[in-house]
């Protein structure tokens, strides 16, 4: 059956001559630029082969590996990867090459058509897995009748990362958990929003960014062990276990509220932007919101309020009592709640940072794309998506010698009727 996916035209200008930052970041980093060698300029994971059978739950993990230079091959069914239907689209017109969601999450891949409902397709999948260093899977393998243990028996050095919503066993094993449900069960929604809103999900797919990042950690840790010992393995990663590890105060309240004075109850109800410490909060200034805090130097904050003549009772002697430390911080926040609305947001932010106060202006996306810091750091990358040239997101980290880059995606097959497996492996270069 001829593949229905049209040849991909997502491509990105290669930006990997040296560092991705044209600002001479290496020179500005006094301790940068250690040894130089012939491999400088290649991605850190150059030469590592990854078979990417992920869905939304692990795709960000495969992206991390791909953007760091691994050779990540992503099979998709003849009718195309369902994730190509995720919006937003170029011009709001859906199309397999037009998903901006996919352009971000499926960056730097090589794609090939694979019909896992056919014996040839399943054999192809098995042979691809055996030719890889790492397999990331959200269920393609078992759906194709391939057991990871069988792969390892044939190739003991293989690393298979098995991503599930809840783990391979247990009462919720078969529960369906798209982002909102995973967030609710994983403890996130209970933290976000306030008394006037329902519990809320985080923007976008940040929950699956968390689970995906653990996928990359598990894959690379297992790869390291394999390099040391020759021994591969299976790494099981459940979204439902990933989320509770990264909830800052939530588990601490449940475990230790009896022991600490900063947790009055085992559960902290949703309280909007106010951090659990109560000393960070978003307030409305003139022209927009701003996160304010009297920390880490409350004396400096007090001095500023005094300069402005808005300090109210904060200079009273009673606040010298060390037992009233928390009440004092909360009183100062009260004073700031009256003061901030009288100030223009941009000027307030600049003055705060000039005074080394860690205020943060609430920036919407339209101010980010003109942000002087990102501009100066040359953070934006060039993307070409279905013939459309655009700026797009840059790196989450910078490597001085083996740079991150978003590479043009490629097809690993010629999009025709399924080819013999060996020619596919030859075509993608995964033969010994």
208 binds other proteins (CB under 8 A): no
Compute CA distances 358 → 209, 291, 293, 296, 301, whole Å.
Answer: 26, 9, 7, 8, 11
336 binds other proteins (CB under 8 A): no
What gap in Å lies between CA 19 and CA 401, rounded to an integer?
Answer: 7
Q: What value does the CA radius of gyration of the chain take, rounded to a whole number of Å? A: 26
14 burial via Cβ count (<10 Å: 0-12, 13-18, 19+): exposed
Per CB under 8 A, the list member of 303, 368, 387, 426 interacting with other proteins is 368
332 binds other proteins (CB under 8 A): no
Helix, strand or coil for residue 100?
Answer: helix
142 binds other proteins (CB under 8 A): no
Cβ at position 70, least distance to other proteins in Å:
9
The stretch near other proteins (CB under 8 A) out of 51-59, 228-236, 311-319, 414-422 is 228-236
Cβ at position 5, least distance to other proteins in Å:
20
Q: Which is nearer to other proteins, 395 or 419 (CB)?
A: 395
Q: Which is nearer to other proteins, 128 or 242 (CB)?
A: 242
Contact 222, 161 (CB under 8 A): yes
Binding string, residues 104-133; x marks residues near other proteins by CB under 8 A: xx----------------------------
Per CB under 8 A, the list member of 366, 416, 431, 432 interacting with other proteins is 366
Q: Which is nearer to other proteins, 229 or 342 (CB)?
A: 229
Torsion sign, CA atoms 307, 308, 309, 314? negative
Residue 48's CB: how many other CB atoms inside 10 A?
19
**Ranges within 241-260 binding other proteins (CB under 8 A):** 241-242, 244-256, 259-260
What gap in Å lies between CA 117 and CA 274, rounded to an integer?
Answer: 51
**Ranges within 13-42 binding other proteins (CB under 8 A):** 23, 25-26, 28-39
The stretch near other proteins (CB under 8 A) out of 2-10, 116-124, 314-322, 394-402 is 394-402
Per CB under 8 A, the list member of 129, 131, 189, 314 interacting with other proteins is 189
- E strand or H helix at 388: strand 388-392
Beta strands in 309-380 (DSSP E): 360-361
**Residue 59 CA to chain centroid, in angstroms?**
10
Closest CA to 339 of 284, 406, 295, 401: 284
Binding string, residues 280-319; x marks residues near other proteins by CB under 8 A: x-xxx---xxxx-x-xx-----------------------
Per CB under 8 A, the list member of 402, 410, 419, 421 interacting with other proteins is 402
The stretch near other proteins (CB under 8 A) out of 109-117, 210-218, 301-309, 330-338 is 210-218
The stretch near other proteins (CB under 8 A) out of 1-9, 118-126, 325-333, 361-369 is 361-369
369 binds other proteins (CB under 8 A): yes
Per CB under 8 A, the list member of 6, 342, 353, 423 interacting with other proteins is 353
Residue 45's CB: how many other CB atoms inside 10 A?
24
Contact 112, 26 (CB under 8 A): no
**Ranges within 58-97 binding other proteins (CB under 8 A):** 64, 68, 86-88, 90-92
**Residue 272 CA to chain centroid, in angstroms?**
23
Per CB under 8 A, the list member of 7, 119, 145, 272 interacting with other proteins is 272
Cβ at position 338, least distance to other proteins in Å:
16
Q: Which is nearer to other proteins, 155 or 377 (CB)?
A: 377
225 binds other proteins (CB under 8 A): yes
Per CB under 8 A, the list member of 18, 41, 96, 167 interacting with other proteins is 167
Q: Which residues contact 31 (CB under 8 A, 6 or more apart)?
A: none
DSSP states of 238-301: EHHHHGGGG-TTHHHHHHHTTT-TT-SSSSPPP-TT--TTSS-EEEEEBTEEEEE---S-HHHH
What gap in Å lies between CA 201 and CA 89, rounded to an integer?
Answer: 22
What gap in Å lies between CA 164 and CA 149, rounded to an integer?
Answer: 17
Cβ at position 269, least distance to other proteins in Å:
5
> DSSP letter at 193?
S
Per CB under 8 A, the list member of 220, 333, 336, 428 interacting with other proteins is 220
Q: Which is nearer to other proteins, 315 or 376 (CB)?
A: 376
360 binds other proteins (CB under 8 A): yes
């Amino acid at each position: 059956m001829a593949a229905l996916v049209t040849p991909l035209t997502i491509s990105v200008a290669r930006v990997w001559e040296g560092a991705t930052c044209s600002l001479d970041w290496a020179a500005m980093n006094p301790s940068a630029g250690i040894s130089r060698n012939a491999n400088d300029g290649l991605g850190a994971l150059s030469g590592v082969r990854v078979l990417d059978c992920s869905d939304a739950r692990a795709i960000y993990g495969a992206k991390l590996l791909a953007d760091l230079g691994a050779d990540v091959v992503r099979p998709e069914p003849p009718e195309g990867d369902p994730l190509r239907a995720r919006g937003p689209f170029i011009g709001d017109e859906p199309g397999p090459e037009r998903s901006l969601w996919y352009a971000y999450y499926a960056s730097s891949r090589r794609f090939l058509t694979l019909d896992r409902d056919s014996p040839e397709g399943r054999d192809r999948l098995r042979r691809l897995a055996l030719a890889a260093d790492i397999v990331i899977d959200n269920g393609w393998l078992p759906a194709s009748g391939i057991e990871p243990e069988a792969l390892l028996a044939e190739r003991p050095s293989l690393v298979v990362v098995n991503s599930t919503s809840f783990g391979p066993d247990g009462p919720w094993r078969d529960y369906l958990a798209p982002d909102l449900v995973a967030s609710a069960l994983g403890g996130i929604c209970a933290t976000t929003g306030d008394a006037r809103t329902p519990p809320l999900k985080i923007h976008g797919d940040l929950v699956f960014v968390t689970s995906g990042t653990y996928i990359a950690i598990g894959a690379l840790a297992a790869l390291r062990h394999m390099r040391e010992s020759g021994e591969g393995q299976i790494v099981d990663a459940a979204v439902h276990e990933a989320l509770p590890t990264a909830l800052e105060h939530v588990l601490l309240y449940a475990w230790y509220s009896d022991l600490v004075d900063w947790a009055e109850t085992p559960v902290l109800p949703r309280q909007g932007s106010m951090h659990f410490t109560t000393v960070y909060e978003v307030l409305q200034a003139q022209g927009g919101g701003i996160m304010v805090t009297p920390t880490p130097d409350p004396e400096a904050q007090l001095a500023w309020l005094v300069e402005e003549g808005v300090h109210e009772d904060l200079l009273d002697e009673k606040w010298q009592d060390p037992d009233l430390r928390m009440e004092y911080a909360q009183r100062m926040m009260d004073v700031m709640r009256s003061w901030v609305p009288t100030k223009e947001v941009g000027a307030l932010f600049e003055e705060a940072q000039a005074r080394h106060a860690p205020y943060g202006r609430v920036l919407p996306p339209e101010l980010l794309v003109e942000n002087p810091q990102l501009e100066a750091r040359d953070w934006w990358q060039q993307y070409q998506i279905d013939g459309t040239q655009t700026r797009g997101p840059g790196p989450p980290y910078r490597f001085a010698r083996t740079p991150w880059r978003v590479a043009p995606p490629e097809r690993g097959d010629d999009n025709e009727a399924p080819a013999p497996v060996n020619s596919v492996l030859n075509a993608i270069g995964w033969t010994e």
